[in-house]
Structure 1
Amino acid sequence: MTSHTWNLFWGSSFVRTPLRNGVGRYVQQLQRVTFKFCKTHGGSQGMREFIEKDLVDFAKVNPGVVVYLKPRRHRSPCLKAEYLNGEEEYISAHNLSSSDIKKWVEYLRMRSGNPVERLRKYQHTDHPSIQGPWTPWTHRDPEINVTEFPSEKLSAAHVTEKTATEQVIELFEKQKIASGSNTS
């Protein structure tokens, strides 16, 4: 499959987060989960076990998620998840065990609701710099490019100016000494 065909079929996007989620507080994106199952069909056995044993614990841990149980006669079981952004996701639970359904419910709980797409890049900015990306070598002396290593000049320790904190501490020490000699 060519990349053009892949893009037409799956689409691609940049990394994004829903509504700047996590700035200030976290808002869970999963709003509703509907468990659709048959009360007698053998393919719904795992779903019924999950409902009997684990559903109450899930509801206690996630009070912001509304849980619906929808029994349907002679139909295959499925999970329907509805997210804050309006997206819905269906997962077939036919012949799945209780532990498999627990894993799928956890997967649905952790999702953002955005569609699964191929990422164009692992980083993205809405306001790119016209100067290009910053690197550690951006403001270095170009002399480094033609220097033969090891170099005595570049191996020497850098002498830096005193920091503002060091200057304030030095002034404080001078004042302390001056005030000590005035009181004597």
Structure 2
Amino acid sequence: MTVKALRAVAQGHNGLGAFVLQCKKMDVHYCDWAGSSKGMNNFIKSVLPKFAAANPKSNSPSLHGPASTPSSSDTTSTLELLRDASGEKLKRTNKAVTSTSASVRGIWSPYHGTGMVV
């Protein structure tokens, strides 16, 4: 009698390979009657239902009371920016390239080494 191996694929249980949306809830502040919230009211009436239907995993924005707001397109771009964010805290960088190790050559300066005669 021969022994056969089980034909099963290992299942990961640590969430690796599954995308977890970082943005769970968005709060939007607006005013019902003021002219400064004209763009937000337009966004709520026309764009918000489409945005909520396109992003079912995140709760639709919870809407709050008085605040001055940008236009409807600015609100849409801000919500998309928040939706697509990684969730990592923003850090200010002073250099264009961030590296874990220092440069092998060191810092270049025109005052090091032999100068060129002009």
Return the TM-score normalized by structure 2. 0.61
Matched, 1:122 2:98: yes
Match of 1:76 among 54, 59, 67: 67
| Secondary structure in structure 2 of the residue aligned to 1:64 | coil
Cα distance, 1:114–1:44 mapped onto 2, change above 3 Å: same
Q: How does 1:23-172 map to 2 (within 5 A)?
A: 23-67=16-60, 68-70=62-64, 72=65, 75-77=66-68, 94=69, 96-119=70-93, 122-124=98-100
Bigger helix fraction: 1
Cα offset, 1:118, TM superposition: 2.3
| Secondary structure in structure 2 of the residue aligned to 1:40 | coil
Q: Which amino acid aligns with 1:99?
A: S
Cα offset, 1:115, TM superposition: 2.1
How far apart, in 1, do the equivalents of 2:17 and 2:98 lie?
Answer: 24
Return the TM-score normalized by structure 1. 0.41
- The structure number with the bigger radius of gyration is 1
Q: Which amino acid aligns with 1:47?
A: M
Is there any run of 5+ residues in structure 2 with no aligned partner, and where?
1-14, 102-118
How far apart, in 2, do the equivalents of 1:24 and 1:114 lie?
Answer: 18
How far apart, in 2, do the equivalents of 1:97 and 1:48 lie?
Answer: 9
The alignment covers a number of residue pairs equal to 85
How far apart, in 2, do the equivalents of 1:123 and 1:25 lie?
Answer: 28
How far apart, in 2, do the equivalents of 1:39 and 1:117 lie?
Answer: 36
The ranges of structure 1 where at least 4 consecutive aligned residues each deviate by more than 4 angstroms after the TM superposition are none
